[in-house]
Amino acid sequence: MVNSMFQWISLAFIALLHPFYVSVIEINHNTKESTAEISIRIFTQDLESTLQKYSSNKVDIAHPADKALLDKQINQYIQQKLQLKINGQTSNIHYLGHEIQMESVWIYAEIPKVSQLKKLDVQCQLLFDFQTLQSNIFHVKAKGQEKSYKLDYPKNSTSFEF
């Protein structure tokens, strides 16, 4: 019991010294709506620090001075750092908005007019400009299947086939 408690305390201490830099990107093919629904979960502080690199104004996601400007900044960043091809065709990601949940930001987007999702090609550099320890984990659902993949810096591309 003491040994296992020591292991947990050691792991917690190591985690404090070695923070994790992870975002989770979920892509769900909604056949009823013919859309690819995208949700991206990023730690708030990591996204703020990254957006701050591209802004002369202070970026405060929890208390933005101008919510429309913040949405524009998030949208531009997502457009630059995440490119998707569905069935070989470059897809335009439509930013829908974001919300804060505890220490994370959820970003919502969609790709309309996706009647079938046979193949998804991903180019992703989310937060690679913030931290070289960054990992982006993808969960993609289509045709009743879920596939996952992790992109660790500097690897920035993968494909899913259904």
Average pLDDT over residues 39-60: 95
- What average pLDDT does the structure give for the chain? 91
Q: State residue 7's pLDDT score.
A: 57
Query: Which runs of E-coded beta strand occur in the chain?
Result: 22-30, 35-43, 82-86, 89-91, 94-101, 104-112, 119-124, 135-142, 145-152, 157-161
- Answer yes or no: is pLDDT of 8 > 60: no
Provide the pLDDT for residue 20.
76
pLDDT band for position 6 (cuts 50, 70, 90): low
Domain residue limits, the chain = 19-161
Q: Cα(93)–Cα(103) distance, rounded to whole angstroms?
A: 25
Is 149's pLDDT higher than 90?
Answer: yes
Give the Cα-Cα-Cα angle 135, 141, 142 (nearest 5 degrees). 140
**Which residue has better confidence, 15 or 45?**
45
pLDDT of residue 12: 53
Instruction: Note the pLDDT tens digit of each residue in 94-108.
Output: 999 999 998 999 999
Confidence of residue 116 (pLDDT cuts 50, 70, 90): very high
pLDDT > 70 in the chain, percent: 88
* Position 152 pLDDT exceeds 70: yes
| Cβ atoms 88, 119 nearer than 8 A | yes
**Which of 5-14, 17-26, 129-138 has the weakest average pLDDT?**
5-14
Model pLDDT, residue 16: 53
Q: Tell me the C-alpha distance between 85 and 124, whole Å.
A: 12
